Amino acid sequence: MSFKIEAADKQTQARAGIFKTSHGIFHTPAFMPVATKGAVKTVSVEELEKIGTEVIIANALHLHIRPGEQRMERAGGLHKFMRWSRPIFTDSGGFQIIRKNFNIKITDSGLNFKDFLNGSPRLYTPELCMDVQKAIGSDIAMLLDDCPRHDAKKRKLNDSIERTIGWAKRGIEHGRKLGIPHIFVIVQGGTDIGLRQWCTEALMQFKPDGYAIGGLSIGESKEDMMKILELSVPHLPQEKPRYLMGVGSSKELLNAIALGIDIFDSTFPTQCARHGTLFSSQGRYNLKGLAGKKEDVPLDEACGCEVCAKYSRAYIHHLLKEKEMLGMRLASIHNLYFILNLVRQSRSAILNGTFDSFRKEMGERLEKNS
């Protein structure tokens, strides 16, 4: 098997594992920086490697639209195209359903929309979704799903689950024929645990390589999200990796690890950084709003990243105020390092049997702002 659980925490449901791919391994719990269009905003591949990134995620739909899978296939796949040698997940693009700028019409055939570059009509099917991910050389491919809004009514939730199941059947059959190495399904159902259980049980028949929990962290309360997670995770197969999509805040990440989640992704750390919100061992803070220009101290005095070793809050405060790209880059590198290091520390604590106390101690420090 590609995924192996190395240790399980005795006080919580947290696990430490290892996932093997043809581009190397990544350890779980794992956080994936988001390279939607083949790049993590403002951060280079070399910088990602330096801060200890083991796996990233890109978006198949965006890459299909531009530059196109044929262009990347000619380059030797996405890994060579972007000069990243480690594992890559690719999201299917189902989340774009709720993005207004795509103006997507959903049918049982797939996603119908106008190309935002030239206005031409597009049909993105479950099979095409797999074709794209095969062509670009994804290590772990996500099946196309119908992601409803967080406030969707039950009828819409039912329709989205039925469509997600139907698309999963078509996509995984096609993906297996193509020889895609690892394929994950995406569980939907909004905040209705009964619907999520139905969706999970239906998707299990396809024997995927992993399970993503989708449709959360898209507008519902944090309390609702954690409640759904707590009730959903026990229905997922113990031996398969579990991936919570779109969560990247410190406190929620720690609590989700405690519930048995293995993999995370989110643009949250880099989005926060570009707007001047920095992560620290004492919680988040807005550098633009501080008297940061007077502080000749690191962004976080307990942080081990190169940004904190070299630059002061005062300097990065100045760069962000002046909208200098370097300020956004340095803040992004710091925030990503902080989250990656938090996940590494969580993994070590699971292996050492101290995760629950680690989570509580960190949670108390982060409580005020995170």
CA separation, residue 181 to residues 54, 141, 175, 177, 258 (Å): 18, 8, 9, 11, 29
Beta partners for residue 185, in sequence order: 211
Amino acid at 244: L
Beta-bridge mates of residue 183: 141
Among candidate residues 139, 145, 265, 300, the one labeled active-site is 265
- Examine the residue annotation and report whether 296 is marked as an active-site residue of this protein: no
Sequence-distant (≥ 6) Cβ neighbours of residue 282 within 8 angstroms: 300, 365, 366, 368, 369
Three-state DSSP class for 327?
A: helix
- The C-alpha atoms of residue 31 and residue 292 are separated, in whole angstroms, by 29
Question: H/E/C letters for each residue in 202-218?
Answer: HHHCCCCCEEEECCCCC
* Active-site residue flag, 356: no
**Candidates 91, 131, 145, 146; catalytic one:** 91
Helix H segments across the chain? Answer: 45-50, 60-65, 69-74, 78-82, 126-135, 154-178, 193-204, 222-232, 250-258, 268-274, 306-310, 313-321, 325-352, 355-366
Active site residues: 91, 265
